[in-house]
Structure 1
Amino acid sequence: MASIDRELVEALEELGLTRYEALAYLAILMSGPSVATEIVKTSGIPQSRIYDVLSGLERKGFIESTGDRPKIYRAHDPEVVLENMRKRFINRIEELKAKLNEIKRAVPERKPSVWVVYRRENIVARIRLLMERAVHECLAALPLSMLADEAMRRVLEEMVSRHVNIVLVLYRDVEDKDLLEGLVKKFRGKLCLKIREVPGPVVCLSDHLQSIITSFKTISWGAERFGAKNHALIATEEDLAHVLSYFLYHSLYYNAVKLCEIVPEFMKGLRFISVWRFTELMKDLLMRGYEVRIRIKGSYIRKRGYVELEGKVVNVNHDDDRRLYDLELEDGTTVGGREATLEDVEAQIIEVVDVKLRKE
């Protein structure tokens, strides 16, 4: 009699049989109705295991046995066996699919941390959405032409009404003196507005929770002239937003011309996530004789653990050469921004509680 085909054994194993069960079924199929001792000789299964193996095959519907002594084992038709197995598998798969989908639906969907959005109109809509969702702070570098859109100006007005801390760097991609003067007039004292003659990347950060970056050519009205590919990267990684915040400051904000700035009277209640922005304002206010009380939410750097502090700012470091931006409270506690390592506290949010001129 021919030996048992190893590939058939492996195929039956893939369908859920053990190796011994596959050998036994093929041995019976090849030899015809057989007793256990004959199956042992044909298959090579140990005598001590044969009855357990045959019982397993019966339960799975591959063979049947007579009541004779010794029992005679007969293989079921392979076509019937495999068709029954296929139906069981399909039913089992459908049951499993339903249960797994139920588990999936119960878990909030998480989008990938970085993805690409295409087409200028989709990118502009996404930038507007990021600005609308900002609760504490919004940093952006945008073409001036975007602010020609009345809907975008309404978004800025609404953000100001919610007391969002806004830094806006504009690229002069259109010559519209009235538009620029109108923006300065409307938002003077309520946000920081700067202008750059040389364009750079378009960037928008919303609360350091979501950010978007694309090329100037993608957004500018003249993009088609450059044959630009209209796509942008969107990220929900806080670490990446932190990097983009410093990129915006050092590469785009730092050398831009300031058109208007937040006034002290508007600062009460503002919340800062980017420490460079807060220390820039504090350095100026302290030099002008203002007292500023702040509330900090963050974590201890050495002791670890969440902390909330409130106190008066007595000293500020805003050193661009050393990339050092931190502050000191009246009790001696030093506070840095996100990823701070030298200070006592790493601030996640800095809220201005009060701003007033020092009494002489």
Structure 2
Amino acid sequence: MDQESLQSVLEESGLSGYQADVFVSLLWLQEATVSELLDSCSVPQPRIYDILNKLDNEGYIETYEEESIRARIRDPSVIQNELTEQADRLESAAERIGSIWEEPPIGQHKISVFGDFDHVVDHAADRIQHAENSIQLSVDVRVYIDLIDELRRARADDVHIKLSIKESDAFRFDIEDVDRYFEETASEVKLRHSTAPFIVLIDGEDAYFGLRQSPVDSYGLMINDQAMSSMLYWFYQNALWENWETIHSDSTNRGASEYTEIRRCIRDVSDRLDGDETVSATVYGFDIRQDTQREIHGQITDVISPDDPSGTDGENDVFTGRATILLDAEGTEYSVGGFGAILEDIRATRIVLRTSSSTDG
């Protein structure tokens, strides 16, 4: 970089044209008298002392008297550090511009397609950190390890996490001590023996889908659309969750039961309502008409669901027909639906139940 280019960079970093001129001249001269500086730069003689004082006050140079006033660079690392920090900010800004450009325009597109599996995993990891109520995900061991820090933070924030995971040939879980793998990262874990796509469903709002068939053949989707998210949700429930073995369940929340799937909640609530129990609930979700987040507390008064088909063993929920919980909250009745609900007042992403006998004092 020649002297003129260096001076231009210093001007871009915040020095005035005269300040940059004097600094670069002094950099080449090492130290100089005022007259020597005037000979090597273009600063007018009436301005030279003012420029030297400003550079001295900012810590770039120092002036001293030795028969005449002289100047020298105080410590080049001062301005070097400033330039490095500015370069880092510019690089970060450039990267951010690129990432924003790859995202869908706000309020226009609800589905983004990525040609890179790792890219959709990165987006899901960022969204997991901001989850508020529930996460459902399907991963293999490698991706689980990549997401473990984000899942740990979400679980620490009391987010309910359902994890469907497949072991790899290189890593097998110690089933006798399996809780240690998941006690800080998941509320409930099911072990799959079949390969499945990468799926993450967050707060009943955002969905992420990824498929990697080979190192050079992969893609991913980022979805903020109820219809598309509902399709992934039902696929997750039917193919990746209901029929697989539970290997971990968080039982620390005694006295309360948590649900992210309303049909399973209804099945359990029906049994309790048929008995002599009062069932209180906290529902986290969205007001369907106002499209705003809601949290309501109240007592479950009734449930609406199709009759269980004859011959079922109770292990699988019925996945068709209306599934609604009626909740009385301080005299106001709310109808609560699950993922994809459109008829009810509230679309629940998480339901926490507490029960007590009606004879309790």
* TM value normalised by structure 1: 0.53
Report the Cα offset of residue 349 of structure 1.
Answer: 4.6
Q: Distance in 1 between matches of 2:274 and 2:239?
A: 26
Task: State whether residues 133 and 206 of structure 1, in contact with CA within 8 Å, keep that contact through their aligned partners in structure 2.
Answer: no
Report the Cα offset of residue 258 of structure 1.
Answer: 1.2
What is the count of residue pairs matched by the alignment?
239
Task: State whether residues 115 and 234 of structure 1, in contact with CA within 8 Å, keep that contact through their aligned partners in structure 2.
Answer: yes
Q: Which SS does the other structure have where 2:120 is aligned?
A: helix
Matched residue, 2:111 = 114
| Change beyond 3 A, Cα 1:109–1:207 | same
Matched residue, 1:67 = none
2:311 matches 1:311:
no
Larger helix share, 1 or 2: 1
Larger strand share, 1 or 2: 2
| Change beyond 3 A, Cα 1:170–1:348 | same
Q: Which SS does the other structure have where 2:229 is aligned?
A: helix
Q: What's the CA shift string for 1:133-164, capped at 9, x where partnerless? A: 211111111112323x2x52222221111010
Matched residue, 1:247 = 235
Q: Which SS does the other structure have where 1:133 is aligned?
A: coil
2:308 matches 1:336:
no
| Change beyond 3 A, Cα 1:263–1:278 | farther
Q: Distance in 2 between matches of 1:260 and 1:283?
A: 25
Q: 2:157 pairs with 157, 162, 171, which one?
A: 162
Task: State whether residues 287 and 346 of structure 2, in contact with CA within 8 Å, keep that contact through their aligned partners in structure 1.
Answer: yes
Matched residue, 2:168 = 173
Q: Which SS does the other structure have where 2:323 is aligned?
A: strand
Q: 1:204 pairs with 200, 205, 217, which one?
A: 200
2:199 matches 1:236:
no
Q: Could you tell me which runs of 5 or more consecutive residues in structure 2 were left unpaired when the two chains were aligned.
A: 1-103, 307-316
Report the Cα offset of residue 251 of structure 1.
Answer: 2.2
Task: State whether residues 211 and 241 of structure 1, in contact with CA within 8 Å, keep that contact through their aligned partners in structure 2.
Answer: yes
Q: How does 1:81-230 map to 2 (within 5 A)?
A: 110=106, 112-147=109-144, 149=145, 151-174=146-169, 176-178=171-173, 184-187=179-182, 191-215=187-211, 217-218=212-213, 223-224=214-215, 229-230=217-218
Task: State whether residues 171 and 198 of structure 1, in contact with CA within 8 Å, keep that contact through their aligned partners in structure 2.
Answer: yes
Q: Which SS does the other structure have where 2:194 is aligned?
A: coil
2:281 matches 1:294:
yes
Residue type of the partner of 2:219? H
Q: Distance in 2 between matches of 1:261 and 1:283?
A: 22
Residue type of the partner of 1:337? G
Q: What's the CA shift string for 1:234-286, capped at 9, x where partnerless? A: 112233223321221122212111112343726859684x5346446656877
Q: Distance in 2 between matches of 1:167 and 1:281?
A: 18
Task: State whether residues 264 and 355 of structure 1, in contact with CA within 8 Å, keep that contact through their aligned partners in structure 2.
Answer: no
Residue type of the partner of 2:167? R
Q: What's the CA shift string for 1:293-334, capped at 9, x where partnerless? A: 223455588xx9998753223555484164443334468865
Q: Could you tell me which runs of 5 or more consecutive residues in structure 1 were left unpaired when the two chains were aligned.
A: 1-107
Task: State whether residues 337 and 348 of structure 2, in contact with CA within 8 Å, keep that contact through their aligned partners in structure 1.
Answer: no
Q: Distance in 2 between matches of 1:255 and 1:266?
A: 25
Q: Distance in 2 between matches of 1:166 and 1:327?
A: 22
| Change beyond 3 A, Cα 1:356–1:171 | same
Higher Rg = 1
Task: State whether residues 300 and 306 of structure 1, in contact with CA within 8 Å, keep that contact through their aligned partners in structure 2.
Answer: no
Q: How does 1:1-12 map to 2 (within 5 A)?
A: none
Task: State whether residues 178 and 248 of structure 2, in contact with CA within 8 Å, keep that contact through their aligned partners in structure 1.
Answer: no
Q: 2:324 pairs with 323, 326, 340, which one?
A: 326
- Please tell me the root mean square deviation across aligned C-alpha atoms, in Å: 4.2
| Change beyond 3 A, Cα 1:307–1:159 | closer
| Change beyond 3 A, Cα 1:312–1:260 | farther
Report the Cα offset of residue 203 of structure 1.
Answer: 0.8
Q: Distance in 1 between matches of 2:166 and 2:262?
A: 24
